[in-house]
Amino acid sequence: MIIYSVIMLLKYSKKNEKTIIKTAVSILRKGGLIIYPTETLYGIGCDATNKRAVAKVYKIKKRKRNLPVSILVSSKTMAKKYVSLSQKAIGKLPGRYTFILPVKRKLPVSKDMTGIRLPKHWCTKLTRALDKPIVSTSVNISKRKPLTDIKKIQKIFGSKIALYIDQGKLTGPATKVYLGKKRLR
């Protein structure tokens, strides 16, 4: 497990959005982990195509490897590169949804199916700048409630995360999850 000697906390504002994106993308390209806000909750992110980075996410969440994690994409076009995008998903994205769909291009986040997210939120600019999907899994230890306060998140994950992006307390609700056409949550 990589422990970062320099841990950054950046407070999000529209004014410093470009700096945050540039910093986050630099960390993601090096295989680092970030905590970032979405329109619902905070997510743990890494380059979803980087096997080592994805393994770090599983390790710090204490999540079983057979449980897939979702990916965040910047557009429907990017989504179509990685999953078979259903008509239901096409009609609902972008939005507060996670669609679990068949994989077209293998990623270290899953085998046959993966969750796909395309929120109406500035965080999609991270994937656009990276030009790859980012892991989008809730910030928590597996089977525990998602954490909503950046200070508590820092206490739990500490130097295992290179960058924390603070957008205040996020209270959800979590995304609506669909498996194909069926709503799971």
CA distances from 81 to 52, 69, 101, 182 (A): 21, 17, 12, 23
- Rounded CA separation 165/184 (Å): 29
What is the DSSP track for 87-132?
HHHHHH-SSSEEEEEEBSS--TT-SSEEEEE--SSTTHHHHHHHTS
5 pLDDT band (50/70/90 cuts)? low
Place of tokens 């000697």: 5
**Is a pLDDT exceeding 90 seen at residue 1?**
no
| pLDDT > 90 fraction of the chain, expressed in percent and rounded | 76
End-to-end CA gap in the chain: 33
Structure tokens belonging to residue 3 = 């422990």
Residue 14 pLDDT > 70, yes or no? yes
The mean per-residue pLDDT over the stretch 4-12 comes to: 79
Residue 181: predicted pLDDT: 66
Look over the chain and give the mean of its residue pLDDT values, rounded to a whole number.
Answer: 92
What pLDDT score does 172 carry?
75
- Cβ atoms within 10 Å, residue 128: 14
3-state secondary structure of 139: coil
The pLDDT value given to residue 6: 57
Q: How far apart are CA 13 and CA 20, in angstroms?
A: 9
Q: Look up residue 149 and give its two tokens.
A: 């306060």
pLDDT tens profile 23-48? 999 999 999 999 999 999 999 999 99
Distance of CA 48 to the CA centre of its chain: 9
Residue 2 has pLDDT above 70, yes or no: no
**Whole-number percent of the chain with pLDDT over 70:** 95
**CA-to-CA distance for 183 and 185, rounded, in angstroms?**
6
Per-residue pLDDT tens over the stretch 88-144? 888 999 999 999 999 999 899 988 899 999 999 999 999 999 999 999 999 999 889
- Name which CATH class applies to 8-183: alpha beta
- DSSP bridge partners of 13: none
- Sign of torsion over alpha carbons 147, 177, 69, 164: negative
